[in-house]
Every structure is written in C-alpha cells, then in structure tokens.
Amino acid sequence: MISSNAFNYINVLGKAADASWTRHEVLSNNLANVDTPRYKRKDVQFETYLMKELIGDNSLDKRVANINLRRLEATTYTDYANLSYRMDGNNVDIDTETANLAQNQIKYYALLDSITHEFNRLKSVLSSR
C-alpha cells in the first residue's frame, strides 16, 4: 500500500485485485473438492464492502480518498445452502464453479490493467514536467 493521495485509486484497485486472487484460490479449491463427500462450496465477499465504503454524495475522488483500506479485506464464507447436487451432501457444481472461475479471471486481469493504466497516468504527469 502506497501512502499518498496520488495513489488512492491504485490502493483500492490493489485491494480489489488481492480479493480477486483470493477468490481464485477459493474457487480452485472448490473444484479440487468436487468429489469430496459433504464438502460445502466456499466463496469470497468483497464487492459489498467496497460499495459500503464508496457510498456518499461527494465526488468519486473524495470518496476514494476517504476509504478506510483496513475495512477492504476479502472474507471467505462457506455456502451452507440446503441445495446439494449429490446424495453425499456436496454442493459444488463443476459448471458453475468453472464459470465463476473464468469470470473472476477476467475481472482480475481487468483490475491489473486498471492498475497499470493508473501508473501510466502518473508516469505521464511526472515525465511532462
């Protein structure tokens, strides 16, 4: 984490990328346990925490500058839904998990691209002086 107002967006994007990486690990673990009896799928919650931090009437720049980055930690939870795809109690659906993994991978690369874009903007400003 970089402590300067110039890096507010980068810090938030970095937290989002970390959460996406964590979700990748969790979804991969779900896929690895697709045949484990009584295994319950897990997932990661991050976006709701980010949305709570971004609520406000002022400009997006001010809202991002005021985000408490300590509150932006991804949490892993277990899906104890009564729905089970098999008689052994496992609730992992390989097609759903694979789709979630693909979606998350796209999101992760988009976040990395956004971080790169923000650094390029800063580099452009610094090199124009």
Residues 6+ apart with CB under 8 A from 29: 42
The phi-psi region of residue 2 (left if phi > 0; otherwise alpha if psi is between -120 and 50; otherwise beta) is beta
Indicate the pLDDT class of residue 126, thresholds 50, 70 and 90: confident
Buried b / exposed e across 23-36, counting CB within 10 Å, b at 16+? bbebbeebeebeee
**Averaged pLDDT score across all residues of the chain:** 90
pLDDT in tens, 15-63: 999 999 999 999 999 999 999 999 999 999 999 999 999 988 888 888 8
Domain that holds residue 37: 5-127
Domain count, the chain: 1
Return the pLDDT at 116.
95
Indicate the pLDDT class of residue 122, thresholds 50, 70 and 90: confident
Tell me: pLDDT of 83 over 80: no
What pTM was estimated for this model as a whole? Answer: 0.86
